[in-house]
Chains A and B, each alone.
Chain A
Amino acid sequence: MGKHLELLQGTLDMLILKAVSLGPLHGYGVLLRIQQISGDQLEIQQGSLYPALYRLEHQGLIASDWGESENNRKARFYRLTTAGRKKLQKETENWNRMADVIGAILSRETEEA
């Protein structure tokens, strides 16, 4: 395993939304998917995953149902709501713009008089 990146403040919510936008997932699945997409580069504090899920559910951005897991056990599956989809879209746009701006600033070579 390579060196893990620390998750930036406030980005966990966005990642969860993205993860469940690809299809309903249970909590552990969310964790796995984020790790998988990031190519194991991101480390997520397991203790903060569920509070984030509950917060998003409370805000109505994701919804949950009980269902069967891949090995036939009962598990809670989260899926994106319409409100969540809108939110994800907006957050993604914001993030991209922010990343561009920051990237542009940081890539600037020394000032040429």
Chain B
Amino acid sequence: MNNQEPATSFGDFIRQKRISLGLTLRTFSSKFAYDPGNISRLERNILPPTLDIDKLKGLAKALQIEEGSLEWVTFFDLAHTAKGRVPEDIYLNPEANKYLPLLFRTVRGKKLSKKKLEEVIRLINES
């Protein structure tokens, strides 16, 4: 994590740490039996970290953060700050579609109806 800007959010911190270990989202989630959707949401700061201290410690250990180290303190400080915080953009506009997919056809080359497209956009924005 030495060549990057210091993380200022819990999500940025754990993403940088995971990547610095050479683990993809998939391999990290597989290795420690985490839901990749939840890890992704944590990393994007749209899911606040758990309040359960043992689970937080488990995540810190999975990220090879040494207990008592400066990283350990930062991890818990950032987790504490992030707990219960509602992401600002969701708070300001719960209907906002932050992500728009470049999806013009399905795998089988079919166009999606406007209704289906709206559903996909809702789905990915809730992911």
Q: A and B, one complex? A: no
